[in-house]
Structure 1
Amino acid sequence: MEKYQIVGIIIVFSGATNLQIDAKGRLAMPTRHRPQLQQQCCGRLVCTVDFQSRCLLLYPEDQWQVVAEKLMKLSDTQPIERAMKRMLLGHAQECNMDKNGRLLIPASLRTFAELDKAAVLIGQLNKFELWNEALWQQQLDDSMQALQSADLSDSQRLQDFSL
Protein backbone atom coordinates (compact mmCIF):
# COMPACT_ATOMS: atom_id res chain seq x y z
CA MET A 1 0.00 0.00 0.00
CA GLU A 2 1.31 3.47 -0.87
CA LYS A 3 2.39 5.62 2.08
CA TYR A 4 1.94 8.90 0.22
CA GLN A 5 -0.13 10.46 -2.47
CA ILE A 6 -0.28 13.83 -4.12
CA VAL A 7 -3.30 15.95 -3.18
CA GLY A 8 -3.06 19.22 -5.06
CA ILE A 9 0.54 20.22 -4.35
CA ILE A 10 0.64 18.71 -0.86
CA ILE A 11 2.10 15.27 -0.46
CA VAL A 12 0.23 13.30 2.19
CA PHE A 13 2.42 11.58 4.76
CA SER A 14 1.08 8.66 6.78
CA GLY A 15 2.29 5.67 8.72
CA ALA A 16 4.53 5.11 11.72
CA THR A 17 8.22 4.24 11.47
CA ASN A 18 10.54 3.26 14.29
CA LEU A 19 13.87 5.07 13.97
CA GLN A 20 17.20 5.28 15.73
CA ILE A 21 18.81 8.60 16.61
CA ASP A 22 22.59 8.42 16.49
CA ALA A 23 25.03 9.91 19.01
CA LYS A 24 25.22 13.14 16.95
CA GLY A 25 21.44 13.60 17.05
CA ARG A 26 20.78 12.50 13.47
CA LEU A 27 17.98 10.34 12.22
CA ALA A 28 17.53 8.81 8.80
CA MET A 29 14.24 9.72 7.18
CA PRO A 30 12.44 6.60 5.97
CA THR A 31 13.48 5.77 2.43
CA ARG A 32 9.88 5.84 1.20
CA HIS A 33 9.53 9.54 2.16
CA ARG A 34 12.84 10.84 0.80
CA PRO A 35 11.86 11.25 -2.88
CA GLN A 36 8.67 13.05 -1.95
CA LEU A 37 10.50 15.38 0.44
CA GLN A 38 13.08 16.13 -2.23
CA GLN A 39 10.30 16.86 -4.74
CA GLN A 40 8.17 18.94 -2.38
CA CYS A 41 10.79 20.96 -0.51
CA CYS A 42 14.27 19.92 -1.73
CA GLY A 43 14.74 18.12 1.58
CA ARG A 44 14.32 21.29 3.64
CA LEU A 45 12.21 20.84 6.75
CA VAL A 46 11.42 22.95 9.79
CA CYS A 47 11.40 21.27 13.19
CA THR A 48 9.60 22.76 16.17
CA VAL A 49 7.87 21.68 19.36
CA ASP A 50 4.27 20.59 19.67
CA PHE A 51 2.68 22.80 22.32
CA GLN A 52 0.09 20.14 23.20
CA SER A 53 2.29 17.03 23.37
CA ARG A 54 5.87 16.18 24.28
CA CYS A 55 6.88 15.57 20.66
CA LEU A 56 8.40 17.46 17.76
CA LEU A 57 6.74 18.57 14.55
CA LEU A 58 8.62 18.29 11.26
CA TYR A 59 7.16 20.38 8.45
CA PRO A 60 8.33 20.39 4.84
CA GLU A 61 9.44 23.97 4.25
CA ASP A 62 6.45 24.87 2.06
CA GLN A 63 4.02 23.60 4.69
CA TRP A 64 5.84 25.54 7.41
CA GLN A 65 5.20 28.71 5.38
CA VAL A 66 1.46 28.01 5.67
CA VAL A 67 1.83 27.72 9.46
CA ALA A 68 3.96 30.87 9.62
CA GLU A 69 1.30 32.84 7.74
CA LYS A 70 -1.31 31.73 10.28
CA LEU A 71 0.98 32.65 13.16
CA MET A 72 1.49 36.14 11.70
CA LYS A 73 -2.25 36.73 12.11
CA LEU A 74 -2.14 35.98 15.84
CA SER A 75 -2.01 38.80 18.36
CA ASP A 76 1.08 39.73 20.33
CA THR A 77 -1.15 41.12 23.10
CA GLN A 78 -3.42 38.12 23.72
CA PRO A 79 -1.59 35.81 26.17
CA ILE A 80 -2.59 32.46 24.62
CA GLU A 81 -1.90 33.58 21.06
CA ARG A 82 1.43 35.05 22.11
CA ALA A 83 2.33 31.84 23.93
CA MET A 84 1.57 29.78 20.80
CA LYS A 85 3.79 32.04 18.71
CA ARG A 86 6.57 31.85 21.27
CA MET A 87 6.45 28.07 21.44
CA LEU A 88 6.22 27.36 17.72
CA LEU A 89 8.42 30.15 16.36
CA GLY A 90 10.83 30.30 19.27
CA HIS A 91 11.76 26.65 18.84
CA ALA A 92 11.56 26.44 15.03
CA GLN A 93 14.82 25.38 13.42
CA GLU A 94 15.66 24.40 9.86
CA CYS A 95 16.69 20.77 9.44
CA ASN A 96 17.93 19.88 5.98
CA MET A 97 18.27 16.31 4.76
CA ASP A 98 21.82 15.45 3.86
CA LYS A 99 22.75 13.33 0.83
CA ASN A 100 22.12 10.19 2.93
CA GLY A 101 18.59 11.29 3.89
CA ARG A 102 19.55 12.16 7.47
CA LEU A 103 18.30 15.08 9.56
CA LEU A 104 20.19 16.60 12.44
CA ILE A 105 17.71 17.31 15.23
CA PRO A 106 19.04 20.14 17.44
CA ALA A 107 19.91 19.17 21.02
CA SER A 108 17.40 21.60 22.57
CA LEU A 109 14.57 20.03 20.60
CA ARG A 110 15.71 16.49 21.42
CA THR A 111 15.69 17.48 25.11
CA PHE A 112 12.16 18.90 24.87
CA ALA A 113 10.81 15.69 23.30
CA GLU A 114 12.92 13.40 25.53
CA LEU A 115 14.51 11.86 22.44
CA ASP A 116 17.53 9.68 22.95
CA LYS A 117 17.98 6.62 20.73
CA ALA A 118 14.61 5.01 20.02
CA ALA A 119 12.13 7.27 18.25
CA VAL A 120 8.96 6.97 16.19
CA LEU A 121 8.15 9.13 13.16
CA ILE A 122 4.41 9.53 12.55
CA GLY A 123 3.02 10.83 9.24
CA GLN A 124 0.31 13.43 9.84
CA LEU A 125 -0.81 14.40 6.31
CA ASN A 126 1.21 17.63 5.81
CA LYS A 127 3.84 17.06 8.49
CA PHE A 128 5.47 14.47 10.73
CA GLU A 129 5.47 14.03 14.48
CA LEU A 130 8.67 12.76 16.07
CA TRP A 131 8.18 10.95 19.39
CA ASN A 132 10.23 9.25 22.04
CA GLU A 133 9.26 5.59 21.59
CA ALA A 134 7.94 5.13 25.15
CA LEU A 135 6.00 8.41 25.08
CA TRP A 136 4.48 7.41 21.72
CA GLN A 137 3.28 4.12 23.18
CA GLN A 138 1.70 5.99 26.11
CA GLN A 139 0.04 8.40 23.64
CA LEU A 140 -1.39 5.46 21.70
CA ASP A 141 -2.78 3.94 24.89
CA ASP A 142 -4.27 7.28 25.98
CA SER A 143 -5.79 7.86 22.53
CA MET A 144 -7.33 4.39 22.44
CA GLN A 145 -8.87 4.88 25.87
CA ALA A 146 -10.23 8.32 24.91
CA LEU A 147 -11.76 7.02 21.68
CA GLN A 148 -13.33 4.01 23.36
CA SER A 149 -15.01 6.19 25.97
CA ALA A 150 -16.05 9.00 23.58
CA ASP A 151 -19.49 9.49 22.14
CA LEU A 152 -18.57 9.99 18.49
CA SER A 153 -22.14 11.02 17.67
CA ASP A 154 -21.49 14.37 19.43
CA SER A 155 -19.49 15.60 16.47
CA GLN A 156 -20.75 15.66 12.88
CA ARG A 157 -17.17 15.41 11.59
CA LEU A 158 -16.49 12.31 13.71
CA GLN A 159 -19.74 10.60 12.75
CA ASP A 160 -18.27 10.11 9.28
CA PHE A 161 -15.58 7.89 10.81
CA SER A 162 -17.86 5.48 12.63
CA LEU A 163 -17.11 1.97 11.46
Structure 2
Amino acid sequence: MMDGTAPVWQGPLLTGLFVLAAAGLTAGVAFFSLWLSDRRKLRREDQRQWDSELKQSYVTIVDQTREVYTALVVLEAASPSELGDVTVNALEAVQKEALLLELIAPKAVHEVAFALSNVLSEIYQGAFEGERQEPRPEEWRERTLQKMNGLEARLRVEIRRALRMPPN
Protein backbone atom coordinates (compact mmCIF):
# COMPACT_ATOMS: atom_id res chain seq x y z
CA MET A 1 0.00 0.00 0.00
CA MET A 2 1.30 3.43 -0.95
CA ASP A 3 1.04 6.19 1.54
CA GLY A 4 3.03 8.81 -0.47
CA THR A 5 6.29 8.65 1.47
CA ALA A 6 9.59 7.45 0.11
CA PRO A 7 11.19 4.34 1.52
CA VAL A 8 13.85 4.87 4.15
CA TRP A 9 16.67 3.48 1.98
CA GLN A 10 15.93 5.71 -1.05
CA GLY A 11 17.48 8.91 0.37
CA PRO A 12 20.88 7.42 1.23
CA LEU A 13 20.94 5.48 -2.06
CA LEU A 14 20.38 8.61 -4.16
CA THR A 15 22.94 10.54 -2.10
CA GLY A 16 25.50 7.76 -2.58
CA LEU A 17 24.85 7.67 -6.33
CA PHE A 18 25.33 11.42 -6.64
CA VAL A 19 28.54 11.26 -4.59
CA LEU A 20 29.90 8.45 -6.80
CA ALA A 21 28.94 10.33 -9.99
CA ALA A 22 30.59 13.52 -8.72
CA ALA A 23 33.75 11.60 -7.74
CA GLY A 24 33.87 9.92 -11.16
CA LEU A 25 33.38 13.23 -12.94
CA THR A 26 36.06 14.90 -10.81
CA ALA A 27 38.50 12.04 -11.47
CA GLY A 28 37.76 12.24 -15.23
CA VAL A 29 38.35 16.00 -15.31
CA ALA A 30 41.55 15.64 -13.26
CA PHE A 31 42.83 12.86 -15.54
CA PHE A 32 42.07 14.90 -18.67
CA SER A 33 43.71 18.00 -17.21
CA LEU A 34 46.81 16.02 -16.23
CA TRP A 35 46.97 14.45 -19.70
CA LEU A 36 46.79 17.87 -21.36
CA SER A 37 49.45 19.27 -19.03
CA ASP A 38 51.82 16.35 -19.67
CA ARG A 39 51.27 16.64 -23.40
CA ARG A 40 52.07 20.36 -23.30
CA LYS A 41 55.22 19.73 -21.27
CA LEU A 42 56.34 16.99 -23.64
CA ARG A 43 55.81 19.23 -26.68
CA ARG A 44 57.70 22.06 -25.00
CA GLU A 45 60.60 19.73 -24.15
CA ASP A 46 60.64 18.37 -27.72
CA GLN A 47 60.68 21.94 -29.04
CA ARG A 48 63.58 22.83 -26.74
CA GLN A 49 65.51 19.83 -28.02
CA TRP A 50 64.90 20.75 -31.69
CA ASP A 51 65.80 24.35 -30.97
CA SER A 52 69.03 23.27 -29.30
CA GLU A 53 69.96 21.12 -32.30
CA LEU A 54 69.16 24.00 -34.68
CA LYS A 55 71.40 26.34 -32.70
CA GLN A 56 74.21 23.80 -32.60
CA SER A 57 73.98 23.22 -36.36
CA TYR A 58 74.05 26.96 -36.98
CA VAL A 59 77.16 27.39 -34.81
CA THR A 60 78.90 24.48 -36.56
CA ILE A 61 78.12 25.80 -40.03
CA VAL A 62 79.20 29.36 -39.23
CA ASP A 63 82.35 28.11 -37.52
CA GLN A 64 83.29 26.10 -40.60
CA THR A 65 82.53 28.89 -43.07
CA ARG A 66 84.54 31.34 -40.95
CA GLU A 67 87.55 29.04 -41.20
CA VAL A 68 87.24 29.09 -44.98
CA TYR A 69 86.72 32.86 -44.89
CA THR A 70 89.92 33.21 -42.87
CA ALA A 71 91.74 30.93 -45.26
CA LEU A 72 90.58 33.01 -48.22
CA VAL A 73 91.55 36.32 -46.65
CA VAL A 74 94.59 35.47 -44.55
CA LEU A 75 96.04 32.53 -46.43
CA GLU A 76 95.66 34.17 -49.81
CA ALA A 77 99.40 34.05 -50.25
CA ALA A 78 99.52 30.43 -49.04
CA SER A 79 99.37 27.50 -51.38
CA PRO A 80 96.06 26.56 -52.96
CA SER A 81 96.37 23.10 -51.42
CA GLU A 82 96.16 24.67 -47.92
CA LEU A 83 92.97 26.45 -48.96
CA GLY A 84 91.74 23.17 -50.42
CA ASP A 85 92.42 21.31 -47.17
CA VAL A 86 90.58 23.86 -45.04
CA THR A 87 87.70 23.98 -47.52
CA VAL A 88 87.26 20.22 -47.85
CA ASN A 89 87.04 19.84 -44.06
CA ALA A 90 84.49 22.65 -43.86
CA LEU A 91 82.57 21.22 -46.81
CA GLU A 92 82.23 17.82 -45.13
CA ALA A 93 81.03 19.37 -41.87
CA VAL A 94 78.57 21.73 -43.55
CA GLN A 95 77.13 18.96 -45.73
CA LYS A 96 76.65 16.79 -42.65
CA GLU A 97 74.85 19.63 -40.85
CA ALA A 98 72.76 20.38 -43.95
CA LEU A 99 71.58 16.77 -44.00
CA LEU A 100 70.66 17.01 -40.33
CA LEU A 101 68.82 20.28 -40.94
CA GLU A 102 66.90 18.60 -43.75
CA LEU A 103 65.34 16.39 -41.08
CA ILE A 104 64.76 18.86 -38.27
CA ALA A 105 64.44 22.33 -39.80
CA PRO A 106 62.06 24.10 -42.12
CA LYS A 107 62.79 23.89 -45.84
CA ALA A 108 64.19 27.43 -46.04
CA VAL A 109 66.86 26.63 -43.43
CA HIS A 110 68.24 23.51 -45.06
CA GLU A 111 68.09 25.08 -48.53
CA VAL A 112 70.42 27.84 -47.33
CA ALA A 113 72.72 25.28 -45.69
CA PHE A 114 72.93 23.34 -48.96
CA ALA A 115 73.59 26.59 -50.85
CA LEU A 116 76.47 27.30 -48.45
CA SER A 117 77.89 23.84 -49.12
CA ASN A 118 77.67 24.58 -52.85
CA VAL A 119 79.70 27.77 -52.34
CA LEU A 120 82.27 25.81 -50.36
CA SER A 121 82.42 23.32 -53.20
CA GLU A 122 83.05 26.20 -55.62
CA ILE A 123 85.84 27.47 -53.35
CA TYR A 124 87.39 24.01 -53.25
CA GLN A 125 87.32 23.80 -57.05
CA GLY A 126 88.57 27.38 -57.32
CA ALA A 127 91.51 26.61 -55.05
CA PHE A 128 92.83 24.12 -57.55
CA GLU A 129 91.97 26.23 -60.56
CA GLY A 130 94.03 28.91 -58.85
CA GLU A 131 96.90 26.47 -58.74
CA ARG A 132 96.87 26.46 -62.53
CA GLN A 133 96.61 30.24 -62.88
CA GLU A 134 98.57 32.00 -60.17
CA PRO A 135 97.66 34.32 -58.63
CA ARG A 136 93.95 33.67 -58.05
CA PRO A 137 91.81 36.48 -59.46
CA GLU A 138 90.92 39.05 -56.83
CA GLU A 139 87.37 39.44 -58.17
CA TRP A 140 86.80 35.66 -57.75
CA ARG A 141 87.78 35.90 -54.08
CA GLU A 142 85.65 39.00 -53.45
CA ARG A 143 82.62 37.53 -55.23
CA THR A 144 82.98 34.28 -53.27
CA LEU A 145 83.31 36.09 -49.94
CA GLN A 146 80.21 38.16 -50.71
CA LYS A 147 78.26 35.01 -51.59
CA MET A 148 79.36 33.33 -48.37
CA ASN A 149 78.51 36.37 -46.24
CA GLY A 150 75.12 36.72 -47.89
CA LEU A 151 74.27 33.07 -47.34
CA GLU A 152 75.44 33.22 -43.72
CA ALA A 153 73.15 36.21 -43.16
CA ARG A 154 70.23 34.36 -44.80
CA LEU A 155 70.94 31.29 -42.67
CA ARG A 156 70.89 33.47 -39.53
CA VAL A 157 67.54 34.96 -40.53
CA GLU A 158 66.01 31.56 -41.34
CA ILE A 159 67.32 29.97 -38.14
CA ARG A 160 65.92 32.85 -36.09
CA ARG A 161 62.59 32.42 -37.85
CA ALA A 162 62.65 28.66 -37.14
CA LEU A 163 63.42 29.42 -33.48
CA ARG A 164 60.46 31.82 -33.37
CA MET A 165 62.77 34.74 -32.55
CA PRO A 166 62.24 38.29 -33.81
CA PRO A 167 64.38 39.26 -36.81
CA ASN A 168 67.56 41.04 -35.89
TM-score (norm 2): 0.29
TM-score (norm 1): 0.29
Larger relative strand fraction: 1
Question: Larger relative CO (CA 8 A, sep 6+): 1 or 2?
Answer: 1
Which of the two has higher C-alpha Rg?
2
